[in-house]
Amino acid sequence: MQIRNDWTKEEISEIYNTPLLELIYKAATVHREYHATGEVQVCTLLSIKTGGCPEDCAYCPQAARYNTGVEVQALMQKEEVLAYAQKAKDAGSTRFCMGAAWREVRNNKDFDRVLEMVQGVNEMGMEVCCTMGMLSEEQAEKLYNAGLYAYNHNVDTSEDHYGDIITTRTYNDRLRTLGNVRKAGIGVCSGGIIGIGETHKDRIGMLYTLATLPSHPSSVPINALVRVKGTPLENNTKVDIWDMIRMIATARLIMPMAMVRLSAGRAEMNISEQALCFMAGANSIFSGDKLLTTPNPAFDEDKSMFQLLGLKPREPFKDKKVSVN
């Protein structure tokens, strides 16, 4: 399978609609061509500034306008964050991602503190990632100079469905930030969520956006909606595991080099279901008992799952020489 950025929606649709076992087999084959078998990247995500966000993302418990019981917390102190990163490193994480519930990064003291955190985590020998909303070219450069390895900014869904989920910014705003990240030389982490009222066509549209970016994201998180009480999507239907597997396998086939991350929703999956996701090409997880504000499997649970399935954590900085960004 070649690395291509000129996929058409029809081609992606054909892959997506392949009979499931055949799709998993094909994805597993391509996975082995591009990645070491049994290697899974273990990332930890910490919410460094929680809640009170002015945006209206319909799935998000941190949006100030929804009554979800999330307690607003100002930006954490650098020392607290570095202590948490050390704990994650000791537990086997190689990538540490810091999330701030901001619409966009502002040039102020908080940003200066984040730059110090980035530098601190980088010096600990972990890949450091942030997810903090929209970013200018200049801010991206500052983050790069502080040692940022990747920046997460999900496209969330297809361009067509985007307006049904978020009205406070546009799909183009999203793509602009991804461009700024790419220009600065930071790894792009971008994926989306299923279970947010999208159609199969929207899922294909989202994968099309990601696979036709000027270069593929180095990480592609595939999230299943966590239905949080108080958000507009609280009563949505639970995502079917087979839909997750189909998304993961399609992402693997059209973006062979990317780390495909089994992200939100993993807490609701049993080990057999997760094993099928790994088989279909997922090779990255978030570990640690929380995923920003929602539950996630803890380090120990994942350790025993790795033992059972014969998986091993991926070393940090492994893709530095072969980065597709």
**Site residues for ligand SF4 per CB under 6 A:** 53, 55, 57, 60, 62-63, 101, 103, 133
The contacts found for 87-92 with CB under 8 angstroms, 24 or more apart, are 88/44, 88/46, 88/126, 88/287, 88/288, 88/299, 89/124, 89/125, 89/126, 91/44, 91/287, 91/288, 91/299, 92/42, 92/287, 92/299, 92/303, 92/313
Note if 43 is an active site residue. no
- Closer residue to ligand SF4, CB minimum distance, 16 or 102: 102
Give me 316's structure tokens: 């940090």
CA distance to 42, 303, 304, per residue, from 299 (Å): 10, 6, 9
Q: How far is the CB of 43 from ligand SF4 (least distance, A)?
A: 18
Q: Got the DSSP string for 3-62?
A: --S---HHHHHHHHTS-HHHHHHHHHHHHHHHS-TTEEEEEEEEEEEBS-BS---TT-TT
Q: In the bound complex, what is the minimum distance in angstroms from residue 247's beta carbon to ligand SF4?
A: 19
Minimal distance in Å, beta carbon 103 to ligand SF4? 6
Catalytic one among 43, 95, 182, 189? 189
Eight-class DSSP state of 173: H
Catalytic residue (one of 57, 182, 252, 266): 57
Cβ proximity to ligand SF4, 55 vs 202, nearer residue: 55
Residues 44, 243, 19: CA angle, nearest 5 degrees: 130
Which of 60, 130, 227, 314 is flagged as catalytic? Answer: 60
Active-site residue among 43, 95, 129, 174? 129
Q: How far is the CB of 42 from ligand SF4 (least distance, A)?
A: 23
Torsion of CA 316, 321, 323, 325, to 10 degrees: 120
Is 214 strand, coil or helix? coil
CB of 3 to ligand SF4, least distance (A): 30
Cβ atoms within 10 Å of 65's Cβ, excluding its own: 13
Give catalytic status of residue 277 as yes or no: no
List 261, 266, 277, 314, catalytic entry: 261
In angstroms, how far is CA 264 from the centroid of its own chain?
Answer: 8
The amino acid occupying position 93 is: S
C-beta of 161: minimal distance to ligand SF4 in Å?
15
Question: Is 55 or 198 the residue whose CB approaches ligand SF4 more closely?
Answer: 55
4 is catalytic: no
**Amino acid identity of 136?**
S
Residue 227: active-site member:
no
Active site residue 130: no
State which residue, 215 or 294, has the beta carbon closest to ligand SF4: 294
- 194 or 249: CB nearest ligand SF4: 194
CB distance 235 to 242 below 8 Å: no
The catalytically annotated residue of 43, 53, 130, 277 is 53
Residue closer to ligand SF4 (CB basis): 100 or 280: 100
Q: What are the residue numbers of the active site? A: 53, 57, 60, 97, 129, 189, 261
